[in-house]
Amino acid sequence: MNLLIVESPTKAKTISKFLGKDFEVVASMGHVRDLPENTIGIDIVKNYTPYYVVPQQHQATVTKLKEVARKAKKIIFATDQDREGEAIAWHLAYLLNVDPESKCRIVFHEITESAVKEALDEARGINLDLVDAQQARRILDRLVGYQLSPFLWRKVSRGLSAGRVQSVAVRLIVEREREIQNFKPEEYWTIEAKFNKPPHLPEKWGGKKDSAKKEDAFAGKLHKINDKILGKFDIKTGKDAKKIIAELKNASYFVKNIEKKKVSRQPPSPLTTSLLQQEANKKLGFSSKQTMVLAQQLYEGVNLGEKGSVGLITYMRTDSVNLSEKFLNEAEKYIKKEFGENYSEKKVYKAKSRLSQEAHEAIRPTDISKTSDDVKKYLNDNQYKLYKLVWSRALASQMAAAQFDTVAVDIESRLLEGRTPERSAIPTRYEFRAAGSSLAFDGFLKLYPDAQNEKDKNIPQLAEGEELKAKNLKEIQHFTEPPARYSDATLVKTLEEYGIGRPSTYAPTISTIIDRGYINRLKDKKLAPNEIAMLVNDLLVNHFPNIVDYNFTAKMEEEFDEIANNKKEWAPMIDEFYKPFKALLNQKEKEISKRDIAEKVTEEKCAKCGSAMLEKIGRFGKFLACSAFPKCKYTINLEPKKPEVEPIPTNEICEKCNSPLFQVQGRFGAYLRCGKYPECDFTKKIIKAIGIKCPQCKEGDLIEKRSRKGTKFWCCNRYPNCKYALWNEPVKKQNSDEMVVCEKCGSPLVYDRRGNIKCYNKECDFELIEAD
């Protein structure tokens, strides 16, 4: 029996049906070794040697893998084909005593029978250059995070974090917010009119049949004054606009020039990871993380009834726009059959980025004959939407360009009184421009319409010198608008343009800065910074400029690419960064005072001890704190107050002074407080049972509690005899005292911060269930 190891159970299930009885396919559940959580795990003196451990949640998996491996004739690692996948294979080889240079590694871009079997025929050793590139990134990020984050705790507030890529992303969002805050709108005006052919005499009086129709009216905009093209701010005030309107009311209008063109709009390129996230955000409203979770499911396999688990799309972490010759031929054949010969136009795309890494394909369907409608009944709504996007985009990239007929008409004004078209125009010469377009051939738009695919803007048949009649001549006031906040799509696009991060890092970066409390996702799904983000960003920009410098961070990405291509050693690269960084960190530790950055003395006096109150800022915003801390812990929240709730009397008695306890609402929820507060500062937590029996000891009940930092967690009420705990609220079975567990891995299903249901095991591919 041969053993083939992949990352996830779904991927294992899909591949199993291809290989028959000769192979056992098992899942590693993601990374099996990593740096330890509680220590830095890097020996800086010994050339930055990392010390890896098997995380507790993976120890059972590793034990099982070792048991299966002992019985296997051959062990093959079929983890993902990027650097992360190569590193997982390397860690597995170490744990299972497999020679990494032996033919133990296979890669494939799609999970199809032909791709997997072809990969087995081309097995190779583990690419240690890719492993080194991944390891260098991991070590560098650990060095920055584990040394800079505690610095922020000491100088700003506990619980803060900094990272090599996340801090740059925060900087982009902070700087955009400040652009918006500092923006001063500028007023400007435009002049517009509706034009039409003037009505002719009735036919019985000698007029023509083709009199002007209402639907022939078209809009024009003032374009030139005295042959000079108008700039945006040339008409600055309403007074200036009204003066022009007054002059134009005494004018007639004639067609000066007509310019007709045929314009082609080329189809979009195939999808890279970045483009997939951008398109899914713009067209479907998906976050980057949501998009990647769904794409992973479509890649690893979806149950298609009698056909079993089928991988529907190719690998979703790629910066390549290349498509296989096989797919190009299949697409050409499909387009000609379904749309017609004139809709097919075979194209080969090349990546714009010189940093495009690993020779992957673009994201495409594995089988073009499986249309989105064919598989719709097997997919949930979001899977269907994303598959339809991938299928349509890949096919559209091989279709003909759309063709538009465009026309631009210049319309000049002339005096009415005593003038003829041949005589000179009024002293000030005004010229309008009208533009129209109509779709002559839809091409790729037939399958993949976009926001630019607007309704036709028709302009009637006109002739140069022909007189027109102007209606609804009006001045329109405008104000410039501030730049828009970043969305997931525009932030990913900007990170990619700067060369910051890679396909595998965009979604985790955005999730991290939201989860860490730096960034809020607003109701319109735009990204806005919290006040703490601005403070931390300013600190890093002023004192650690390289950490948040766009070009410096992009340069680091280039160096990781050089390591992956065997052009650079990873340890010297780390050393070149770390030594000056550590020296600067030591220097700033001495120079920077928390009081200078995050504290300000106020005129307020402490209500408990009379000491001066300090204005501080923490993860949850501004607050006042007694300067006598830690002797006095009195604080006042300065964030916008929620409606005050009257203290609720209880039957409990204060353990310090025997006064009644009242239930009051604090920042972290309800608690009990002495009725003589602030004279008596006794408080007591409210034990909140959630109706679930402890799954570990089977005796205790799970209760909701808060850590010293104020973070909620759920644990057994028999602590310390039972130490079972979760950082997310578990989902309770209806009419039961048990929690719901994941059908894929057996871990608890829990609620995230937004009320969505997810698997507590981060490595599990359980599909997020979004809150209504």
Instruction: Answer yes or no: are the C-beta atoms of 111 and 299 closer than 8 Å.
Output: yes
What does the alpha-carbon distance between residue 392 and residue 196 come to, in Å, rounded to a whole number?
Answer: 41
Active-site residue (options: 48, 188, 253, 315): 315
Q: Exposure string (b/e) for 55-72, b if CB count within 10 Å is 16 or more?
A: beebeebbeebeeebeeb
* Cis-peptide into 720, omega within 30 deg: yes
Region for 11 from its dihedrals, namely left if φ exceeds 0, alpha if ψ lies in -120 to 50, beta otherwise: alpha
Question: Dihedrals φ, ψ of 766, to 5°?
Answer: -55, 135
Cα 685 off chain centre by: 38
Q: Is 2 exposed, middle or buried (0-12, 13-18, 19+ CB in 10 A)?
A: middle
For the chain, what's the residue count? 772
Partner residues linked to 262 by β-bridges: 405
Q: What is the dihedral of CA 465, 470, 474, 475, to 10 degrees?
A: 0
Beta strands in 329-444, from DSSP E residues, in sequence order = 402-415, 430-441
Cα 192 off chain centre by: 40
Q: Is 176 exposed, middle or buried (0-12, 13-18, 19+ CB in 10 A)?
A: buried
Q: How far is CA 302 from CA 31, 541, 609, 747, in A?
A: 23, 46, 65, 21
What does the alpha-carbon distance between residue 392 and residue 394 come to, in Å, rounded to a whole number?
Answer: 6
Partner residues linked to 408 by β-bridges: 259, 435
Q: How far is CA 696 from CA 131, 272, 719, in A?
A: 38, 44, 12
Tokens standing for 116?
A: 């997997």
Question: Dihedrals φ, ψ of 409, to 5°?
Answer: -120, 125
Q: How far is CA 348 from CA 271, 360, 415, in A?
A: 13, 14, 57
Looking at residue 34, what DSSP letter applies? Answer: B
C-alpha closest to that of 127 among 59, 81, 183: 81
Beta strands in 226-347, from DSSP E residues, in sequence order = 228-229, 251-265, 302-303, 309-310
What does the alpha-carbon distance between residue 375 and residue 311 come to, in Å, rounded to a whole number?
Answer: 12
Please measure the distance between the N-terminal and C-terminal CA atoms of the chain and give it in whole angstroms.
47
315 is catalytic: yes
Q: Is 457 exposed, middle or buried (0-12, 13-18, 19+ CB in 10 A)?
A: middle
Q: Write the CB contacts of 580 (distance below 8 Å, at least 6 apart in sequence).
A: none
The SS3 of residue 82 is coil
- E strand or H helix at 50, and its extent? strand 49-50
Q: State which amino acid sits at residue 16.
A: S
What does the alpha-carbon distance between residue 135 and residue 83 come to, in Å, rounded to a whole number?
Answer: 9
Neighbours of 569 (CB within 10 A): 13
Catalytic residues, which ones? 315
